[in-house]
Chains A and B, each alone.
Chain A
C-alpha cells in the first residue's frame, strides 16, 4: 500500500536548536518525495523536493531508499519556521497527484 507516515504530530524546540521532522514512506515503485509547509493563515506551499537536492530556508532532506525515509532537517531553528509540515510523495502517475502524511506541527520557542 502507498503510505506516508509522519510519526510526530507536534515537535517543539527552542530557537537555535536543531530540527528533524521524520517522514517514512511505503511505496512499491520509485516515488518522488516532497515537503510542503503551511504557515499560519497561509496556503499549503512547496518547501522542497528531493530531486532538486536543494536547501530552502536552511532546510534539507535526504532520500534514504534503504530506510524508506525522507527526513527534513535544519541545523538551527528560527521562530519563523513554526508551521505545519507535510511530507508527500507522487508515484508512477505523471499527473502529479500527491499522497500526504498527516503532518507535523513545528513549534519554535523563543
Chain B
C-alpha cells in the first residue's frame, strides 16, 4: 500500500555518467517535490512541480533537472554526477493548496557516485 514509491532504493553511478531517479505516486496529489539529503544534513528542496508547473530553487545546480510526464510520475535527472552529488534523494507529494498541507515521502534513493 505504498503511496509514494521511489526506484531504485540504491543507485551507483560513475562520475560524469547521467543518471535518472524515479518517483511514482498513487495519491493523485498535485505537488511533487525532490529533496536532497546529504549525510547528517537537513533535507534540502531542489525543485517541485505544482501540476505541470516546474519550480526550481534558486540554488539548485543546473546539473539537476526534472521531468513530470503525468500526475503519477516524476523523474530526477543528474546530467553529470559529481562526487558531491552523493546523497539520499527524497521524493514527496502533497495536495498543495496551502501552507499546512501534509507532505508524503517515499523511502528515498541513496545515490553513490564512484
Contact = CB atoms under 8 A, between A and B. Distances in A.
A92 B98 CA distance: 9
Contact of B48 (A32, A44, A95, A103): A95
B100 interface: yes
A94 B90 contact: no
B62 to A, nearest CB: 20
Q: Is the interface of A mostly helix, strand, loop or mixed?
A: loop
Q: Which interface class (under 10, 10 to 19, 20 to 34, 35 or more) fits B?
A: 20 to 34
B105 A45 contact: yes
A94 B104 CA distance: 16
Contact of B99 (A4, A46, A91): A91
Given A43-B107, A95-B48, A51 B43 contact: no
A46 B42 contact: no
Contact of A93 (B40, B90, B99, B102): B99
Contact of B98 (A45, A91, A94, A98): A94
Contacts of A85: none
A93 B45 CA distance: 13
5 contacts: A44-B90, A49-B102, A90-B100, A96-B99, A96-B103
Interface of A: 4, 9, 31-32, 36, 42-46, 49, 51, 86, 90-103
